[in-house]
Chains A and B, each alone.
Chain A
Amino acid sequence: MSYQGKVLRIDLSTGKAEAEDLNEQWARAYLGGKGLALKYLYEELETGINPLSSDNKLILMTGPLTGTIVPNSGKLAIAAKSPATGTVLDCSIGGSIASEIKYAGYDAIIVEGASKLPVYICIEDDRVSFCSAKNVWGKGAHETEHMLSEKYNQAKALVIGQAGENKVPMSCINTDLYRQAGRGGIGAVMGSKNLKAIVVKGTGSVRVPDTRKFMVAMNKYKREDTLTDSNLWASEDGTSMLVDLANNTGTLPTRNFQKSTFEGHTNINASSIKEQLKAKKACFACPLACGNYVNFGCTEVEGPEYETLALCGSNCEIDDLEAVVEFNRLCDDYGLDTISTGNTVAFAMELAEKGVHDFGLQFGSVESYLKAPGLIALQQDEGKELSKGVKYLSEKYGGKEYAMQSKGLEFPGYEPRGSWAMSLAYATSDRGACHMRAWPIGEEAYGSLDPFTIENKAKLVKNQQDEYAFKFSAIFCSFWALSADVQADILTKALGYEVTVSDLYKIGERICNLARLFNQNEGFSGKDDVLPDRLFEDELLDAELNRGPLPRSEFLKMLKEYYDIRGWDEEGCIPEKLIADLGL
């Protein structure tokens, strides 16, 4: 079967690295990826630890399909307790690093403790070396990755930029230059361990029970299920195609969520990006290749992705694509999450507009905007305060009602007043406001469901959360819209024992509850499933939309329904019986 059966445990405090057996019982109950990473985290972390202390752990988890020829199976889950929110945190990163871990012989790498001096780890099969990072510490993620790939031929690396080194709560982990584990300050966890990079090269392999049969079946899925109309948007335009769709449906965050359409959207949409497209780039084993490498001569990036175009473009009222590309490149190189960074910059712009506090940032003004990533990552001047994110800023300077965050994580690029179920998705996401736990906007504003009713939406969000949870544990990339039946069939063929659709839904439910339980133990409950007042009190300023706020009573009704469907109590807590039933 397609697990390797080994976990590599690295203790940076002692310089020890040892392989141990994968907990097979947990692997059955949580598959891999997100689920299994969270299980290890839940079992191994003490409650109440400081996420930036040596007590936190960084868990890199592959899935049972990683390293095989299954389309879109190239992603890696990275988990830790979040420095941004104090919640559980798992991120997903593409590129080619996940398969290297598997080929090196491991399903997972768990990094514990903290190094006294800046180091990077190099893993070549069963050889683990701890190397001084003094030549790369203080350098950007891009230069670091170039230097490491030159030194270690054919190896892949996870690296942090200066933001991670400086423990910025919106810092990310990079690989293949432009692929990120972005949210919740996962880069700061590496930085707090004095760990600049993890280099991996694997010369082993991954096996499945019947390779020939497996390949015939997977090639058929690739042709008939992956490279089909419902997924080809990814190769055609990539996520930038959402700019027009979001603008046309009134869901494109603009001017710090004051508006949801953007006059300049045609300057930052898919066709504008296409004009600068130099090459398409895929993650490992992905036939869709959503990556757009654009180069303006003076700046370049793989992207920008929709979230960047929304948060760092329209939300800051920047319609100059070259400026957005440069902002994106700076964030990637410094190692900053573009969602939280763009959202925070836009919030600071509104603070200035309202005369609350002046961080030197104004809507639509490119010069100061392009300075922000550097100031934030390097902790200089105003950047030191900005780096702490909108929750902190709003509590210190004001503007709580328009601080677009939940549980301390900044909103991604979807306006909930134009797609009501997104409010529930943000409020109940395990790591704070997130579009990768449920994405009901795909069914509402972008699909055929009425976006302005809460009817059946609690169930929709609950089901999507469960579905995303097992899909990210298998691991499949979210851009292949494959059914649970197909997932079950692929897993069965790879593992050599039957995985049913009902197993998958059970696994998904178990994962969502485990994440909730982690947060519950940390003191989170229904009181934290809250959203900023702007959504409930402010009309969107786009005159032509004539769109009012989301009625708070409707949101609360939907939230209560959601708790009921989940089997949680009125405070949004998981009852003992459910904890026992799910085997948590």
Chain B
Amino acid sequence: MKVLAFHPEKCTGCQLCALACSGQNEDQFNPRLARLRIASEYNDQGINVEGHTCDLGMSCVEACPTGAIFLKNNRLAYDQEKCTYCGLCIDICPNKVIVRKKDSIGVCVQCMACVKWCPNEALTIEEVSN
């Protein structure tokens, strides 16, 4: 199974990954609509780079009461018709990378837009054991 991996030492905080995710999946641009969260910001200790991506930890799949989120071909899939929009998946996701929308949610389906857009190879897709 493959998962997204974030390499903070390579990240410059440009947000092109999050812009690409929101453009690809939501047809509009704002990093807040992305299914990953990356930040490179100054705090009083210097610079702080943080990244959160879907690690396929399956807590959303396990939590979903209606089976609206499920695994298909080793990627997450989502069936809006089954979704009751209870928000449990959003709450339980340890990485906080599920997007809340008006009448649906958005999970990372490994579309790879973020990987394609990252200018620094700070995001990669890597094989992990199931």
Contact mask for chain B residues 11-53; partner A; CB cutoff 8 A; 1 contact, 0 none: 0111110011011101111101100000011111011010000
- CB A160 to nearest CB in B, in angstroms, measures 17
Residues from chain B with Cβ under 8 Å of A214 in the complex: 23
B27 touches A219 (CB 8 A): no
- CB A149 to nearest CB in B, in angstroms, measures 8
Contact mask for chain A residues 198-234; partner B; CB cutoff 8 A; 1 contact, 0 none: 0000111111100110110001001000010000000
Stretch at the interface among A25-33, A113-121, A275-283, A558-566: A275-283
**How many residues in B have their beta carbons less than 8 Å from beta carbons of A?**
30
B70 touches A (CB below 8 Å): no
B119 touches A (CB below 8 Å): yes
Within 8 Å by CB of B23, from A69, A71, A288, lies A69
Report how far A282 CA is from B119 CA in the complex, Å: 11
The A-contacting residues of B in range 75-114, CB under 8 angstroms, are 113
- CB B35 to nearest CB in A, in angstroms, measures 15
Report how far A291 CA is from B13 CA in the complex, Å: 11
A281 touches B29 (CB 8 A): no
B116 touches A (CB below 8 Å): yes
A278 touches B20 (CB 8 A): no
A412 touches B (CB below 8 Å): no
B117 touches A (CB below 8 Å): yes
B12 touches A146 (CB 8 A): no
Within 8 Å by CB of B44, from A146, A219, A284, A288, lies A146
B28 touches A205 (CB 8 A): yes
A204 touches B30 (CB 8 A): yes
A interface majority secondary structure: loop
A67 touches B16 (CB 8 A): no
A219 touches B14 (CB 8 A): no
A279 touches B47 (CB 8 A): yes
Report how far A574 CA is from B120 CA in the complex, Å: 48
B interface majority secondary structure: mixed
Within 8 Å by CB of A285, from B15, B24, B41, B44, lies B15
A280 touches B12 (CB 8 A): yes
B32 touches A219 (CB 8 A): no
A177 touches B (CB below 8 Å): yes
B20 touches A206 (CB 8 A): no
B46 touches A202 (CB 8 A): no
Residues from chain A with Cβ under 8 Å of B43 in the complex: 146
Report how far A65 CA is from B84 CA in the complex, Å: 37
Q: Which of B15, B20, B22, B41 has the most CB of A within 10 A?
A: B15
Residues from chain B with Cβ under 8 Å of A96 in the complex: 15
A293 touches B (CB below 8 Å): yes
Across the A-B interface, the 5 shortest Cβ-Cβ residue pairs: A287-B119, A289-B12, A282-B14, A205-B28, A282-B12
